Amino acid sequence: MWTGRFSQATADLVLKYGESISYDWKLYKHDIAGSIAHARAQLKAGMLTPEEFAAIESGLKSILADIEAGNFEWSIKLEDVHMNIESELTRRIGAPGAKLHTARSRNDQVATDTRLYCRAEIDSTLALLEDMQRALVAKAEEYAEVRIPGYTHLQRAQPVTIGHHLLAYVEMLGRDVTRLQDCRRRLNISPLGSGAIAGSTINLDRVGIAEELGFDAVSENSMDAIADRDYIMETLFCLSVIGTHLSRMSEDLVLWSSAEFGFCTLSDAHTTGSSLMPQKKNPDVSELTRGKSGRLYGNLVSVMVAVKGLPLTYNRDLQEDKEPLFDSFETIALALRVNAEMVAAMRINEDKCAAAVSDPLLLATDLADYLVRKGVPFRHAHELVGKAVAVAVGSATPLNQLTLEQFRAISPEYGEDVHAVFNLDRAFELRTNPGAPNPANTARRIAYWKSLLS
Ligand code: ARG
């Protein structure tokens, strides 16, 4: 492709070191779409005859068909996806193929291809995110009012429900959806026409090309368009956040499926056994999801570090953006699919949940609120309940089984109705504010998500 200036062939090790075709072949569909749009602009500018354009278009389409049928041989001598396709085109159609690269560089080509790739992969990730949300909403609805302890510091805190807990993840994934949509809007800009760095003396219709490729606009600065990879970093960040959310859900499921918690049972199909211990049923899917969040962050950091010290504009370092990008999309896609399936097959053990949530200490804060309603300032109420907890713990008596006299000995503010505080129905009914785990709130939110996701 550049024999003119060179008198030696590229060394084998340099070919091996520099090739990207072993992974960037994944851009072929976008590369071909970009080339057809570019050729059409050359046709409109009178730089290709209709016959030449037709030859280019059908040549590229036949290459596309061969790639999709698995009948295309990629060559590392041709370095990357752009040169592999262009050189094969010329081999197939002859002279018109050699005109295709007019007013274009691999620099604007690769920026175009990766934007189109991100856009397409974001669209499929969005669909998978919604599938994951649907699985969680269905499970939240099935066990909406099954009560469990909520935890802070992994210590029992206050009662919540399975419905409320699972919906927390639905909310997080909902923000992941809008974050990706926002990222998609920002990256859907056409760099084609930026050339290697400074545009071209041959002015093709950039807007027409952008429209054909479904871009919302054209980039406004050729150097920016060639050099920046912020759209890749932003995409990788969005994927990292999804990974974080899935990882935290995984940690909950690892705990819930343990004998110690026993809140849920994962299906045999979504767990694995031990080669040594016959009784084991391990939550490997959750552990792998937790573990894979590490590589999602690693991919983000790789690209940020690769880009940060580069002088404008294109530097070959930028070729290092693709493997992390591909890996993150592939990792997230599989994680979303397998977790949606696993959540759908998960059973909640209502007896275990009921036993855990019967701990009256979960309502210690409600007891303080009870005193507040009697006019005790909250800080003082906190102290009075703390004392009651100390008596209960000290005498190995459940808090709700302290006698009225024992409560009164701590403070006369405790009234005859004190034991009513330990009624869980009451505890949930009182929490009427939006966002609290009140049954009506949970039902409302389930209905909201079901209609949004339908
Ligand atoms: N394979 C290259 C990349 O991924 C394409 C652009 C190459 N441009 C160049 N001037 N060497 O970045």
pLDDT in tens, 20-45: 999 999 999 999 999 999 999 999 99
How far does residue 315's CA lie from ligand 1's centre (Å)?
8
Instruction: Decide: 110 in ligand 1 pocket, CB within 6 A.
Output: yes
Instruction: Decide: 20 in ligand 1 pocket, CB within 6 A.
Output: yes
Ligand 1 pocket test: pick from 17, 87, 319, 323 the residue with the most ligand atoms within 8 Å of its Cβ: 319
Nearest ligand 1 atom, CA 106: 6
Instruction: Decide: 314 in ligand 1 pocket, CB within 6 A.
Output: yes
What does the buried/exposed string (b/e) look like for 12-29 if buried means 16 or more CB atoms within 10 Å of the residue's CB? eeeeeeebbbebbbbbbe
How far does residue 108's CA lie from ligand 1's centre (Å)?
9
What does the buried/exposed string (b/e) look like for 332-360 if buried means 16 or more CB atoms within 10 Å of the residue's CB? bbebbeebbbbbbebebbeebbeebbeeb
How far does residue 82's CA lie from ligand 1's centre (Å)?
9
Q: Count other C-beta atoms under 10 Å from residue 268's C-beta.
A: 10
CA distance 404 to 423: 16
Per DSSP, helices labelled H in 202-317 are 206-212, 222-227, 230-256, 284-308
Instruction: Quote the pLDDT of residue 3.
Output: 77
Report whether 229 contacts 143 (CB < 8 A): no
Question: Backbone phi, then psi, for 412, in 5-degree steps?
Answer: -70, -10
Instruction: Quote the pLDDT of residue 2.
Output: 76
Question: Backbone phi, then psi, for 158, in 5-degree steps?
Answer: -145, 155
CA distance 244 to 376: 42
CA distance 116 to 27: 9
Instruction: Quote the pLDDT of residue 108.
Output: 97
Nearest ligand 1 atom, CA 80: 1
How far does residue 69's CA lie from ligand 1's centre (Å)?
26
Chain centroid, CA 391 distance in Å: 48
Nearest ligand 1 atom, CA 196: 10
Q: Which of 22, 75, 267, 274 does the annotation list as catalytic?
A: 274
Instruction: Decide: 316 in ligand 1 pocket, CB within 6 A.
Output: yes
Ligand 1 pocket test: pick from 80, 105, 112, 192 the residue with the most ligand atoms within 8 Å of its Cβ: 80
Q: Which of 153, 275, 451, 454 does the annotation list as catalytic?
A: 153
Nearest ligand 1 atom, CA 314: 10
The residue nearest atom 4 of ligand 1, judged by CA position, is 319
Does residue 153 carry a catalytic annotation?
yes
How far does residue 304's CA lie from ligand 1's centre (Å)?
18
Q: Count other C-beta atoms under 10 Å from residue 131's C-beta.
A: 17
As a dihedral over the C-alpha atoms of residue 4, residue 8, residue 9, residue 11, rounded to 10 degrees, the angle is -140
CA distance 159 to 170: 19
CA distance 46 to 37: 14
Low-confidence residues in the chain, pLDDT < 50: none
Instruction: Decide: 318 in ligand 1 pocket, CB within 6 A.
Output: yes
Condensed to tens digits (0 to 9), the pLDDT of residues 379-393 reads 999 999 999 999 999
Which pTM does this prediction carry?
A: 0.96
Nearest ligand 1 atom, CA 20: 1
